[in-house]
Chain A
């Protein structure tokens, strides 16, 4: 039996256009702003007559509220196709000397911060400037070699006056990363090897040599960028920061 709700008198006796359950529109030819309940009057009448309080209260809600509930249900449903991807949590830990820290893709152990005015194999941009070197042990803990550009972003200096390099979002990056034993630039960083390097920062000679520097370590994430579909180590984020004492270099210590 065909179920019909309110039909206009003029339409009585005419065949329904679409299917069998033709709902009468909520409003007539003139439009009114909806501020009342969302459900059509016929449905609400049936809910009232059914005696269920839940049905009556749900159908009495205005459209706004139903929309909010519907949106929450829809968002919860996105869990079925990837909505619950894990997010990495952040928190800035304190950096200590001689303690290996995991900053993907590297494991860095900061040993000491020294400064010197003469470094064979490296040229100062202006005479009188000095080199600040953060002596570190670098280990690539990933499965593939990584270019030196990623290592440069992994360790930066903060709050050190007079540095020649331009500061980025995450501090001032090193102007060179020199392997201590032969003075060459460390690139690419191969996995499975422990390198003794010095991250070199040039400081203006007119500022007094620092007694302590703030060192920041950044970790990268392996993935593809939004504009660049090639996979790589990107999105450096600071995870450790520490104030380390700085002293003048002793002659037998640094790069050849």
Chain B
């Protein structure tokens, strides 16, 4: 038996099936733009997280009145802002903060949305009805206004608490999507079969149904990531995001509200604006390729 076991185990690699993840990957490789975007994203992420490890945030955000609004030079690669702070350093740390918030919000809202949606869809009936009305309630709340109120209420916040506030109002979209898919999946015979085989509802939800909607989850979360990065930048730009001593791409961009800065000191806001654009485009490219991969008719790979 042991020998047979070994024999069988060695065949695992050969009989690998085109699973969902593999299809996603193949589509990414086929779509050169998406592949390029993914590499760009990975490099940027590795770069900002690596460099910010060395950089000292307090030093960068310290006001230096002798070096106000300096254009790019050898000392300051991207010049300084109106407080004499190094723009390049702020850009690195800001990108890191923006990305962190984007990732955290996507992750948290993803977890809440998936659990909420899959439970609601699986049980259906009254439970679904009640849960969906709760969701509708969150949906009609004016998101931007409430985040602004929360930010003004909470005395001190950092990237983590800010992510939590944003999460509170951004889990509904994914929850609704997952619910509709779970409603379909639970009607399939394999879910019913699991029930007759004695599996509990919880184990059917998470072990049987969830693996069948992973590709949908990956796609939605990727596309959400782009939206969340944009949202964070927007809020910071309006002055309701992170405080000035915690730079983000949005705070850098908000310097451009000063006409002087906008017209004569491009080095302060231009790099941040470009980076936001590139990051969102890159994430979107990847997300779109993944979305295409889930639909066999649109696939290229």
**A and B bind:** no
